[in-house]
Structure 1
Amino acid sequence: MNRPGVDGPGVDGRGTAPPGTAVPYDAVILAGGRAERLGGADKPGALVGGRPLVERVAAAVPDAGELVVVGPPRPMAAFSAVFTREDPPGGGPVPALRAGLAEVSAGWVAVLAADLPFLEPSHVSALFGAARAAGAAGAVLVDDGGRRQWLTGVWRTETLRGALRQYRGRSLHGLLTPLEPVLVRLPAPEGGRPPWFDCDTEADLGAARRSAGPSGAR
């Protein structure tokens, strides 16, 4: 069954959710990857606009009841986070998601990569609004090429746990596609970067830093 996509249910095209879509949720940030295209550097700790990437992502989920970071413990200025690790460390996003969900108690969960410098609370709200309006298991952003951004999404916690219990593969695509999430397209701000922009390479980091502006800028 196909779910609505472009500017799907609950999304008004400006990255905001309609009134009444607030929902208690926890957040899981996956921050334990190997960053091979960055030469193994500490990507979640890379500074953009004077702030580590992982903290910029944490700022996009200010209403999360529990903030869970899957990765090595690190200082998180102004954020209280629970740290956990996948088994084995560096084992990939599916084991990391499994480890993160073990710390989640809310009925909904935001699942995010640690390298999304331009993700904002309004984008996360739009995802929740779209998922709830459609009665769906979740919602994920799609980029301007139509690719699903599996690490920029929100999910019903028990549905996600059930899928993980049955899944033996290593691919987020294989795990999450059968859950038929709502696909949400949100525009980039004029002259800015879209919410799904991630920092996989030095060139990406450079572009993010130029867009973020001086130290302290969002």
Structure 2
Amino acid sequence: MNIARDRITAGVLAGGRGRRLGGVDKGWYRLDGQPLITRTLARVAPQCAAAVISANRSLARYRALGHRVVPDDGGDFDGPLAGIAALLQAAATPYVLIVPVDTPALPLDLAARLGAALHASADLAVASCAGRTQPLHALLRRELLADLEAARADGVRAVHAWHRRLTCVSVAWPDCDAFANVNAEADARVIAARL
């Protein structure tokens, strides 16, 4: 089904530890001179009605970008599910496009393609490439918040484990470079050479 842009909030996950990058806040890691958060917002915000950032440090700095910022409820690097819960809670639209802050080349048609694939009986649409699911690149119904909280209460900590409880539609992408993420300096060099 086609989901209008004004019914989707972009939810940016910016709460990781950045251990392999020396513990830096990944959103502020500079790739070719530009912070990852700036690159991510430039690609995803035009696809949606609004953008919300989930973070657990540098909150004032993120707010200065002009978007709503919410702390994940773990407050102590509690993992992506805590960030997703915070984003679903904060969204004012029926759909949330979840993306991580560290994929600087994410598709400019991510919301449109996932929205076109999401049918009435599915809970979410998730990107995939070369047979590999990209669980942090997904369009979710905001109403999944209650199920997510129940899953977390049951001890679920991995995004893919939560997705297994749901009805998912997988959307294949031909270009896997769109989902390449910056986890280490070596990743940054490879991705910067392609941008």
Q: With structure 1 as the length reference, what TM-score do the two structures score?
A: 0.77
CA shift, 1:81, in A, is 0.9
The gaps in structure 2 that reach 5 residues or longer are none
Matching residue within 58, 68, 74 for 1:82: 68
Q: With structure 2 as the length reference, what TM-score do the two structures score?
A: 0.85
User: Matched residues in 2 for 1:80 and 1:135: separation?
Assistant: 35
Matching residue within 37, 47, 61 for 2:20: 37
Overall identity of the aligned pairs, in %: 29
User: Matched residues in 2 for 1:39 and 1:118: separation?
Assistant: 22
Equivalenced residue count is 186
Which structure has more RCO (C-alpha within 8 Å, separation ≥ 6)? 1
User: Matched residues in 2 for 1:59 and 1:201: separation?
Assistant: 22
User: Matched residues in 1 for 2:54 and 2:134: separation?
Assistant: 18
Partner of 1:15 in structure 2? none
The one-letter code matched in structure 1 to 2:12 is: I
1:53 matches 2:39? no
User: Matched residues in 2 for 1:130 and 1:50: separation?
Assistant: 35
Partner of 2:145 in structure 1? 161
Counterpart contact for 1:30–1:97, Cα < 8 Å? yes
Matching residue within 159, 164, 176 for 1:172: 159
Matching residue within 99, 102, 108 for 1:121: 108
Partner of 1:95 in structure 2? 82
Q: Deviations over 1:39-96 (max 9, x none)?
A: 212221122344221222212321422311111322578x531111122231111112
- Of stretches 51-60 and 33-42 in structure 1, the one that deviates more from structure 2 is 51-60
Please state whether the residue corresponding to 2:24 is helix, strand or coil.
coil
User: Matched residues in 2 for 1:201 and 1:49: separation?
Assistant: 14
Superposition CA RMSD, Å:
2.1
Please state whether the residue corresponding to 1:94 is helix, strand or coil.
helix
The one-letter code matched in structure 2 to 1:52 is: P
The one-letter code matched in structure 2 to 1:149 is: Q
User: Matched residues in 1 for 2:31 and 2:173: separation?
Assistant: 22
Q: Report 1:127-206 matches (<5 A).
A: 127-132=114-119, 135-144=121-130, 146-158=131-143, 160-167=144-151, 168=153, 169-188=156-175, 194-206=177-189
CA shift, 1:210, in A, is 1.0
The gaps in structure 1 that reach 5 residues or longer are 1-9, 11-19, 213-218
Please state whether the residue corresponding to 1:98 is helix, strand or coil.
helix
User: Matched residues in 1 for 2:41 and 2:78: separation?
Assistant: 23
Counterpart contact for 1:32–1:89, Cα < 8 Å? no
User: Matched residues in 2 for 1:63 and 1:184: separation?
Assistant: 17
Q: Structure 1 residues 174 and 164, CA, compared in 2 at 3 Å: closer, same or farther? A: same
User: Matched residues in 2 for 1:69 and 1:97: separation?
Assistant: 10
Counterpart contact for 2:32–2:192, Cα < 8 Å? yes
